[in-house]
């Protein structure tokens, strides 16, 4: 733990005192929302484990929930974290790890306050699980780069000010070595965002076409050719963001199922009873596994369980929501609305069961497919050898496509 | 929605890590699997010498207080020992004596047997069929006059027992293993690393240990279920490790078998199940150690989950070893036999799910 200007390591009590002092100076009831959030960032009380001057105090990350709770208890506005998931979960840690001091000062504050929303331009039609296969090119032009290509599965692209972008800068190198990572302004000329309609009828995601988009070299994160290392760091944060966390008993898909089971005895059949109990056991085992992972992380021993938690979460969401439709029978045959539209953010429980059934199909694909998760576990945890592969040492331009 | 109980500590403490290291080192020296296998075909199916060594480091009564002669630890530490014994399919009466019997004697406040059991000089066993779930009825041993009559089939850890704890209606009796009229018949058991015994009581004199003991028997079986879950966890982990080691060296079609995705994915899925088994087993041990009101849920959850995981691990171990895994000379069959027996022991997964239906309010079809 770091010492601070006031001397001594930061404790929960010390942070609590700082929060109360801040609240005394900035009354949440009478201070403008953005002004309040900017001041909170400047006081180092935004993400306390970040360095001083960048919204933090170099404190232990386990102290953050206490700080958030103290602000919430005082009725303070929050930064609406659910509206900027990519920014907070992926872009910020990447900027912190690879950004220059100028880049960190420019981007982190409006990112945290939610004034600027972020998206990621990673996947392409030809680069899904094999992300290192990206074909979007960036060619140098003075102190700028000219970017051309097509990205896909970009959530929030229509709301975003900035994007984190992976490009190929040297096609003569093997695939992992010719990549470079940039930050791209989404209002740049040549950026074209088109909604991508999905299985539920809505468009949560977008396709993004990049046509001679000019990106200043000052917006490069990491060295030229170092893009794969930066990308892997970003994806590691994504998996942590999707996988872990503390959850109450019977939350999520199992909560919806047992609610119907309890409230509607007329739907129950003898054959379904043991299956409901099986799901309850699996969901509770999954919940305790996530709790244990959280305890490991809090104790400074992050385990590889995150990939497993994600795998289980995806499988159970799919199986349990499917079973809930069986339970509902005829009612499940009516869908609410397949018309093309942007989705309205509502809590899980407010969505109809068959929407949840369809949406859950994405859980085993987004953020790394379940197959990739199993490869990660088998190779990095169990130490089994990688599949024989033909693309590691060949120049990218010579690979069959 | 049911309330979420406090989770408590699901990690291993330093003391638990040290205890694990001591037990593992002892088992590596004295409990190698080929010796375990050879012992199953002798008249001495229990390794009494190993049990004496384990008792020396306190394993005979970890969760018994020091005043009662125990180690003054808790069911958390006992669960760690159970993990190690499961890894080694060790033929010692830990579950029956240090688990079921110790829990029962503590629950009824027994003073005579407990100190001897704790110091390792005496082994006790609970005289119920091994498949008895917490709360299930126990066999009808009757008191006629002052003597006990009845039959109890398939009792665990009674081979090495000096004292049998016999539920008689709502009472609990202690019967010496050599008592007149008591016949103990060891049976050829599916799991010969934990040989079961049929008991016949024909005019046997017992000592009344406690009246109104039915609840205590249920509580003891529940503690047994908690320890059994940790044993299943240890067993599953060992099966996965053995299989990974084998697939990392075995070559077919010119490739290391472990590089095939079809096999890697199966092992990855098994690893995920084992991380869950560890979480539920630790939660059950924590609930037992702290006397949590959620213990009945935690124990049923742990048994419903760990039974399935351990069996799957043992089955994958055999299948992924191919032909060698089907032979008598390879330890895989010891693990499968222990895993399948454990899945039935102290209630099948289905029984525990039925218990959960009551406990967490998920009733069946209305009558």
Share of chain A above pLDDT 90, in %: 77
pLDDT range class, residue A345, cuts 50, 70, 90 = low
Between helix A253-263 and helix A305-328 the angle, nearest 10°, is 30
Q: Chain B contacts of A244, Cβ < 8 Å? A: none
Q: Do A381 and B271 touch (CB under 8 A)?
A: yes
Give the closest-approach CA distance of A327 to chain B in angstroms: 13
- Domain containing A35: what range? 12-78
Q: What is the mean pLDDT of residues B201-225?
A: 97
Tell how strand B163-168 and strand B124-126 pair up: parallel
pLDDT of residue A166: 97
Is position A265 within any domain? Answer: yes
Instruction: Please state, rounded to an integer, the average pLDDT across all residues of chain B.
Output: 96
Residue-wise pLDDT tens digits, B299-318: 999 999 999 999 999 999 99
Q: Do A277 and B7 touch (CB under 8 A)?
A: no
Q: Which of A238, A256, A305, A324 is catalytic?
A: A238
Q: Are residues A223 and A304 in the same domain?
A: no
Q: Are residues A316 and A343 in the same domain?
A: yes
Say yes or no: domain B14-121 is CATH 3.40.190.290.
Answer: no
Q: What is the mean pLDDT of residues B325-331?
A: 96
Q: Chain A contacts of B3, Cβ < 8 Å? A: 249
CA A301 vs CA A296, A297, A346, B198, B325: distances in Å: 5, 5, 35, 48, 36
Interface A–B counts its CB contacts (< 8 A) at 139
pLDDT of residue A240: 52
A167 membership: H or E segment, kind and range: strand A162-168
DSSP assignment of A223-288: -TT-HHHHHHHHHHHHHHHHH-----TT-THHHHHHHHHHH-GGG--HHHHHHHHHHHHHHHHHHH
pLDDT range class, residue A342, cuts 50, 70, 90 = confident
pLDDT range class, residue A3, cuts 50, 70, 90 = very low
Chain A residue with minimal CA distance to B350?
Answer: A274
Is position A269 within any domain? Answer: yes
* Cα–Cα distance measured from residue A58 to residue B201, given in angstroms and rounded to the nearest whole number: 71
Residue-wise pLDDT tens digits, A274-305: 999 999 999 999 999 999 988 887 777 766 77
Is position A320 within any domain? Answer: yes
Q: Do B1 and A308 touch (CB under 8 A)?
A: no
Number of domains in chain A: 3
Question: According to CATH, what is the number of the domain B142-213?
Answer: 2.40.110.10
Q: Do A295 and B5 touch (CB under 8 A)?
A: no
Q: Do A305 and B275 touch (CB under 8 A)?
A: yes
A135: phi then psi, degrees, rounded to nearest 5: -110, -10
Q: Are residues A296 and A355 in the same domain?
A: yes
Residue A252: pLDDT above 70? Answer: yes
Among B12, B243, B365, the strongest candidate for a mutation testing the A interface, having the largest count of A CBs within 10 A, is B365
Q: What is the mean pLDDT of residues B149-155?
A: 98
According to DSSP, the residues that pair with B202 across neighbouring strands are B149
Q: Are residues A150 and A129 in the same domain?
A: yes
* Cα–Cα distance measured from residue A159 to residue B168, given in angstroms and rounded to the nearest whole number: 73
Is position A331 within any domain? Answer: yes
Q: Do B353 and A281 touch (CB under 8 A)?
A: yes
CATH number for position A178: 2.40.110.10
Considering chain B, tell me which residue range(s) the CATH 2.40.110.10 domain(s) occupy.
142-213
Q: Are residues A199 and A274 in the same domain?
A: no
A39 membership: H or E segment, kind and range: helix A33-42
Catalytic residue status for A124: no
Say yes or no: domain B215-359 is CATH 3.40.50.300.
Answer: no
B187 touches chain A (CB under 8 A): no
Q: Do B271 and A308 touch (CB under 8 A)?
A: yes
Q: Are residues A215 and A266 in the same domain?
A: no
Considering chain B, tell me which residue range(s) the CATH 1.10.540.10 domain(s) occupy.
14-121
Q: Are residues A212 and A253 in the same domain?
A: no
Strands (E), chain B: 124-126, 142-144, 147-155, 163-168, 171-176, 182-186, 197-205, 207-210, 251-252, 255-256
Give the closest-approach CA distance of B340 to chain A in angstroms: 19
Q: Are residues A211 and A258 in the same domain?
A: no
Residue A110: pLDDT above 90? Answer: yes
Q: Are residues A222 and A150 in the same domain?
A: yes
Q: Which of A191, A214, A234 is the last residue of a domain?
A: A234
Q: Which of A20, A54, A78 is the last residue of a domain?
A: A78
From the list A268, A281, A288, which residue is nearest B283 (CB)?
A288
From the list A371, A381, A387, which residue is nearest B259 (CB)?
A387
Q: Do A388 and B2 touch (CB under 8 A)?
A: no
Residue-wise pLDDT tens digits, A309-321: 999 999 999 999 9
Is position A386 within any domain? Answer: no
Chain A residue with minimal CA distance to B277?
Answer: A285
Task: State the complex-level ipTM.
Answer: 0.96
B239 touches chain A (CB under 8 A): no
Sorted by sequence, the CB contacts under 8 Å of residue B249 that are 6+ apart come out as B256
Q: Chain A contacts of B269, Cβ < 8 Å? A: 311, 374
Is A80 buried (19+), middle (13-18) or exposed (0-12) by CB count in 10 A? exposed
């Amino acid at each position: 733990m770091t010492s601070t200007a006031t001397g001594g390591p930061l404790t929960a009590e010390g942070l609590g005192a700082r929060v109360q002092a801040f609240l005394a100076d900035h009354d949440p009831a009478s201070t403008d929302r953005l002004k309040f959030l900017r001041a909170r960032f400047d006081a180092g009380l935004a993400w306390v484990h970040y360095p001083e001057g960048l919204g933090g105090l170099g404190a232990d990350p386990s102290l953050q929930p206490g700080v958030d709770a103290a602000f919430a208890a005082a009725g303070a506005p929050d930064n609406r974290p659910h509206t900027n998931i990519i920014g907070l979960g992926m872009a910020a840690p990447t900027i912190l790890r690879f950004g220059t001091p100028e880049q960190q000062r420019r981007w982190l504050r409006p990112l945290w306050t939610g004034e600027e929303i972020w998206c990621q331009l990673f996947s392409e039609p030809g680069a899904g699980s094999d992300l290192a296969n990206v074909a979007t090119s960036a060619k140098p032009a003075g102190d700028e780069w000219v970017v051309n290509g097509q990205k896909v599965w970009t959530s929030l692209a229509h709301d975003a000010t900035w994007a984190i972008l992976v490009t190929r800068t040297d096609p003569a190198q093997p695939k992992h070595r010719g990549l470079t990572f940039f930050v791209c302004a989404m209002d740049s000329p040549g950026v074209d965002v088109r909604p991508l309609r999905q299985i539920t009828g809505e468009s949560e995601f977008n396709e993004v076409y990049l046509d001679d988009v000019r990106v200043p070299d000052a917006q490069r994160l990491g060295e030229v050719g170092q893009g794969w290392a930066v990308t892997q760091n970003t994806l590691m944060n994504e998996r942590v963001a999707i996988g872990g966390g503390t959850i109450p008993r019977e939350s999520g898909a199992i909560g919806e199922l047992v609610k119907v089971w309890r409230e509607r005895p007329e739907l129950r059949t003898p054959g379904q009873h043991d299956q409901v109990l099986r799901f309850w056991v699996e969901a509770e085992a999954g919940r305790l596994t996530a709790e244990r992972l959280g305890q490991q992380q809090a104790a400074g021993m992050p385990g590889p369980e995150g990939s497993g938690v994600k795998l289980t979460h995806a499988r159970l969401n799919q199986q349990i929501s499917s079973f809930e439709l069986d339970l509902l029978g005829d009612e499940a045959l009516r869908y609410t609305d397949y018309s093309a539209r942007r989705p309205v953010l509502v809590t899980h429980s407010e969505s109809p069961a068959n929407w949840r059934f369809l949406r859950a199909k994405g859980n085993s694909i987004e953020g790394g497919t379940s197959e990739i998760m199993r490869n990660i576990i088998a190779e990095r945890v169990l130490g089994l050898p990688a599949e024989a592969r033909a693309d590691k040492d060949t120049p990218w331009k010579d690979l069959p496509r | 929605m049911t309330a979420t109980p406090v989770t408590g500590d699901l990690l291993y403490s330093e003391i638990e890590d040290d205890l694990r290291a001591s037990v593992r080192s002892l088992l590596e020296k004295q409990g190698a699997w080929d010796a375990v296998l050879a012992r199953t075909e002798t008249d001495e199916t229990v390794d009494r010498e190993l049990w004496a060594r384990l008792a020396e480091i306190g394993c005979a009564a970890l969760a018994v207080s020091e005043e009662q002669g125990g180690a003054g630890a808790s069911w958390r530490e006992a669960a760690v020992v159970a993990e190690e014994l499961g890894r080694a399919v060790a033929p010692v009466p830990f579950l029956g004596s240090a688990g079921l019997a110790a829990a029962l004697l503590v629950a009824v406040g027994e003073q005579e047997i407990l100190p001897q059991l704790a110091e390792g000089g005496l082994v006790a066993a609970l005289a119920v069929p091994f498949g008895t779930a917490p709360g299930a009825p126990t066999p009808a041993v009757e008191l006629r006059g002052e003597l006990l009559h009845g039959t109890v089939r398939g009792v665990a850890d009674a081979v090495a027992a000096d004292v049998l704890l016999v539920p008689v209606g709502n009472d609990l009796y202690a019967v010496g293993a050599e008592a007149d009229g008591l016949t103990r018949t060891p049976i050829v058991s599916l799991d010969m690393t934990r040989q079961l015994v049929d008991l016949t009581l024909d005019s046997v004199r017992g000592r009344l240990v406690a009246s109104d003991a039915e609840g205590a028997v249920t509580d003891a079986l529940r503690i047994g279920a908690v320890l059994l879950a940790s044993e299943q966890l240890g067993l599953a982990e060992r099966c996965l490790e053995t299989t990974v080691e084998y697939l990392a060296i075995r070559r077919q079609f010119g490739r290391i078998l472990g590089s095939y995705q079809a096999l890697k994915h199966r092992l990855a899925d098994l690893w995920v199940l084992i991380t869950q088994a560890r979480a539920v087993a630790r939660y059950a041990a924590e609930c037992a150690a702290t006397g949590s009101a959620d213990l009945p849920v935690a124990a049923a959850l742990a048994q419903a989950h760990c039974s399935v995981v351990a069996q799957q691990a043992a089955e994958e171990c055999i299948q992924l070893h191919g032909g060698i895994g089907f032979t008598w000379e390879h330890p895989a069959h010891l693990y499968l036999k222990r895993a399948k027996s454990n899945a039935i022991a102290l209630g099948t997964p289905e029984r525990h799910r039925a218990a959960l239906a009551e406990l967490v309010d998920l009733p069946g079809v209305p009558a």
